[in-house]
Structure 1
Amino acid sequence: MNKRIQMGVVGCAVLLGGCASAPTWKKTVEDRLPEYGHRNWIVVADSAYPKQSAPGIETIFTDAGQIEVLEAVLKAVDAAEHVQPVIMLDAELDAVTERVATGVDDYRAGLKELFSSREIKIMKHDDIIRQLDAGSKLFNVLLLKTNMTIPYTSVFIKLDCGYWSAEKEAQLRETLELE
């Protein structure tokens, strides 16, 4: 093998090795999800969402679109048998108009399509943040910042148990009270 080809092969190996070891947001979701359970959070946030200082909050800039990141996260959560998503949206998003935030109508249409068969909780932003802040004191939060530049578009996913429902828990508690 001549010297030029050898150098090219070595250069490609170095580049590929570097790329393979570099963490991506998708790999992070894949790695964290088996560790996470009910009461952990995954937030898919707009680009102005602040980096929080709580030790349990891991922030990653994805440099990707909001819907793209959300689709990937929901696909991963849906594939995990041990958790299910409780999805929360800011109530303020309904009041944001196309006139003041170009693209918001397309974003809402994308959410509607993505969430067509899902239950969504609509809450005031501050109420969601209070829940997230309280949860982050005891449980981990993965915050994925996107390149979205429309306000009140963050999607908050609180993980719940995938194999134990609220109804089953209520039945268990009722049985315990009878004893």
Structure 2
Amino acid sequence: MKNYFHIAVAVISLFSCKPENRPVAAGNTTGWKSQLDSVLPLLGHRNWIIIADKAFPLQSAPGMVYINTDAMLPEVASYTLHELGKGTHVSPLLYLDKELSFVPGSAGYRDSLQTIFKGQAVQTLLHDSVFAKMDKTAGLFKVVVLKTNTTLAYSSVFINLDCKYWSADKEQQLRAAMKAN
């Protein structure tokens, strides 16, 4: 009987310690703005927000949070950037797929994004390069995916969050001062 007890404890321990590797899907589609509003204060430097087209895959990576907006991408991008602009702790670094410029019929969509971005710097990278950049930090930091109903290839907006109150220049000055001592 003692042998079975030890085996049962070992099996229970093994399965109870197994990490879940499923993405979290947040709530229903009717309250996507409130869902985003509740997660934004928790996000910080190195987190990502992806405003994704409808074909964006459900990934199995830990740390991925999905919110189904049931809205079109420009509306979601506009709301998200407006809310980020109100915050005091992070600022967005924007990325678009370079391929979008070559997608037939995408000119109007690109123009609408430029209006939403209001002169913010936008980097364009090859689709795989954006994912590689995001994947570098996604293993350690949350990635919030706002899934939209947009069905235009390469239309997703990738937002890398940066610290709003501490710039790269300040960091460089700090490191130089530390090295000097």
TM-score (norm 2): 0.82
1:167 to 143, 148, 169: 169
**Residue matched to 2:91:** 84
**Partner-residue secondary structure (3-state), 2:91:** strand
Determine if the alignment matches structure 1 residue 130 to structure 2 residue 137: no
Separation of aligned partners in 2, 1:163 and 1:77: 13
Q: How far 1:70 moved relative to its partner?
A: 0.2
Q: How does 1:17-96 map to 2 (within 5 A)?
A: 24-96=31-103
| Segment of structure 1 superposing worse, 130-139 or 30-39 | 130-139
- Distance apart, 1:134 and its partner CA: 2.4
SS of match in other structure, 1:24: helix
Q: How many pairs were matched up? A: 154
Identity %: 43
1:159 counterpart letter in structure 2: L
Q: Which runs of 5+ in 2 are unaligned?
A: 1-26
Paired residues of 2:101 and 2:107 also in contact (CA < 8 A): no
TM-score w.r.t. structure 1 length? 0.82
- The AA in structure 2 aligned to 1:69 is V
Give the Cα separation in 2 of the matches to 1:93 and 1:64: 20
Q: Which ranges of 4 or more aligned residues in structure 1 deviate by more than 6 Å?
A: none
Structure-2 residue corresponding to 1:120:
122
Higher relative contact order (CA 8 A, sep 6+): 1
Match of 2:112 in 1: 110
Could you tell me how far apart the structure 2 residues matched to 1:115 and 1:60 are?
22
Whole-Å Cα distance in 1 between the matches of residues 38 and 132 of structure 2?
Answer: 27
Counterpart residue identity of residue 138, structure 2: S
Q: What code does the residue aligned with 1:119 have?
A: A
